[in-house]
């Protein structure tokens, strides 16, 4: 499987908060399997809860561990299992 981060966006939520999210695609042997969006908060949870060693878990850890000022640098990152 291959996981690719396609884009990053920051959406104003409340006056003092914002929602940051990544759009991604998962690919298998037969092509695209899933297109989704994950917030950084959700990626933080998934990074600690799902089994490591998969493209998806590596992508969640990368999002979770990224420098807050450089989230857009993850766009185009590809992860394999």
Half-sphere exposure of 1 (CA within 13 A, CB side): 13
Q: Alpha carbon of 73 to those of 1, 5, 8: distances in Å? A: 22, 10, 9
Q: Is residue 79 part of a domain?
A: no
Mean pLDDT, residues 13-18 taken together = 66
**Any domain includes 39:** yes
pLDDT digits (tens, 9 = 90+) for 42-81: 999 999 999 889 999 999 999 999 987 888 899 999 999 9
In a domain, residue 26? The reply is yes
Q: Record the pTM.
A: 0.89
Domain that holds residue 59: 2-74
Q: Is residue 33 in some structural domain?
A: yes
- Total domains present in the chain: 1
Domain-located, residue 80: no
Rounded to whole angstroms, how far apart are CA atoms 21 and 37?
7
């Amino acid at each position: 499987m291959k996981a690719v981060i396609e884009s990053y966006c920051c959406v104003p939520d409340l006056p003092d908060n914002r929602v940051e999210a990544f759009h991604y695609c998962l690919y298998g042997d037969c092509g695209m399997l899933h297109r989704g969006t994950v917030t950084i908060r959700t990626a933080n949870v998934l990074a600690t809860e799902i089994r490591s060693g998969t493209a998806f878990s590596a992508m969640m850890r990368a999002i979770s561990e990224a420098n807050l000022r450089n989230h857009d640098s993850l766009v185009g990152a590809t992860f394999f299992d």
